[in-house]
Amino acid sequence: MPRNKSIILLSAGHACVDVYQGAVASLVPFFIAERAYTYAVASGIVLAASLLSSVAQPLFGALTDRRALPWLLPVSTMLGGLGIALSGLAGSYPLTLAFVAVSGIGVAAYHPESARVARIASKGSHTAMGWFSLGGNIGFAVAPILVTAVVATGGLRLSPLLAVPALAGSVLCLPVLRALDRTARTGSGTAAPVGADDKISFVKLSLAVVCRSVVFVGLSTFISLYAQQRTAGGTSAGTAALFVLYLGGAVGTVLGGSLAGRWDRVTVVRRSYLLTVAAVAGIVFIPGPAFYLFVALTSAGLYVPFSLQVTLGQDYLPTRVGTASGIMLGLTVSVGGLAAPLLGGLADAASLQVALAPLIMMPALSWLLFRTLPEPTAPKPVAPARQSADGAGIEPVPIQRTSSG
């Protein structure tokens, strides 16, 4: 299968999965309205989706480093959709948390293996990986529209309709998996390069992404409600703010790949976080229509680094691509949900503005961490991929360079 077609299908499948990450925050206003949850209680739902995902993604990543598990893509996609579909039907808060947690596990299982498959299908291209990441951003952007269209018309009882993207995503990945399996059997594939691990830089990168995650999850959870206060609008004003926050991610991801062609990735990410500091301050303190401009700038500032951080993580840990992918796409992103209940409790005790103000310093910390990071050196090439021992996928075979090579 041509590389572009594979990446398009994987990107579309990624969008279908990440609808369910965006859906959790999109459902929060409806849980508050229909079930009279407080800010802190509602933010616990975001925590449930994030907590198990935070723990599980690196475990799934380590597992896929040892053995290819391509069947995880369709199965985890369905699991992510099933949890969200049932969360609106749960009559009790514990059941709602349980179903959202199930969705989080599905998302956790998907990302490490899908990133491994995408890296192989992209033949190590940073641009192609950027398009793969773009799919997830589009899924986030579509989530508030999809959730509002379904739940606002008939209430949470219509949440089973939210399983439709999962059905689509599970089908979209199958042609790519079949093509990669055929490539593995013929031994004609080309795997991504490998090199030496830089664990210190990877830890610094992970901490920077955690800070980014706190900002993004905090805004995702409360910006819909905060927009209604700052713009004197209704539910539509909140949905619009969440849509801008997610849609700007699609623009930022494409822009990041373009800018990285002019400067190195570390420089682009560092400058993006510096811009984000001012943009988040604008969200917190500037009222009126300008609020949406700062939401858009914040979204772009947070997402320009997104795909670049994924490829940086893989290049810092080239011998553990699955683990690096699980941490970059999972743990560091999901761990931001741990801050959501703290922000919710602060909002209940004071106000949403007071709760969101600490988010301004998070991108500043990411900027400081990136000032100490090097651009990874070009890794060594590898031989054509071989089939894994269990026949489930393909694994890279390192080549030893000769002195003349």
Confidence band, pLDDT 50/70/90 cuts, at residue 382: very low
Confidence band, pLDDT 50/70/90 cuts, at residue 220: confident
Helix locations, 36-69, DSSP H = 39-66
- What are 343-356's pLDDT values in tens digits? 888 888 888 888 88
Which is more confidently placed, 380 or 250?
250
Average pLDDT over residues 261-287: 88
> Is 291 within 8 Å of 356 (Cβ atoms)?
no
The model's pTM = 0.67
Cβ neighbours of residue 73 closer than 8 Å, sequence gap 6 or more = 13, 110, 113, 114, 117, 170, 173, 177
Report which secondary-structure segment, H or E, holds 384.
strand 382-387
Task: Give me the number of domains the chain comprises.
Answer: 1
Domain limits for position 222 = 3-370
Enter the tokens of residue 280.
Answer: 């988040």
With respect to residue 29, please indicate whether it lies within any of the assigned structural domains. yes
pLDDT at 255: 77
Q: What is the CATH number of the domain that holds 68?
A: 1.20.1250.20
- What SS3 state is found at 82? helix
Residue 210 phi/psi, 5° resolution? Answer: -60, -45
pLDDT at 402: 32
Lowest mean pLDDT among 125-134, 143-152, 312-321: 125-134
With respect to residue 139, please indicate whether it lies within any of the assigned structural domains. yes
With respect to residue 385, please indicate whether it lies within any of the assigned structural domains. no
pLDDT at 370: 92
With respect to residue 394, please indicate whether it lies within any of the assigned structural domains. no
With respect to residue 280, please indicate whether it lies within any of the assigned structural domains. yes
With respect to residue 404, please indicate whether it lies within any of the assigned structural domains. no
With respect to residue 377, please indicate whether it lies within any of the assigned structural domains. no
pLDDT at 330: 67
% of the chain residues with pLDDT over 90: 10
Lowest mean pLDDT among 282-286, 293-297, 384-388: 384-388
Which is more confidently placed, 330 or 135?
135
CA 401 from chain centre, in angstroms, equals 36
State the number of CA atoms in the 13 A half-sphere of 92 facing the CB.
3
With respect to residue 376, please indicate whether it lies within any of the assigned structural domains. no
- What are 196-211's pLDDT values in tens digits? 788 899 999 989 988 8
Which region holds residue 123: left if phi is over 0, alpha if psi is between -120 and 50, else beta? Answer: left
Listed residue (138, 157, 102, 129) closest to 16, CA to CA: 138
Which is more confidently placed, 67 or 205?
205
| Highest mean pLDDT pick, 73-87, 105-119, 312-326 | 73-87
Lowest mean pLDDT among 195-209, 247-261, 277-291, 358-372: 247-261
Which is more confidently placed, 168 or 229?
168
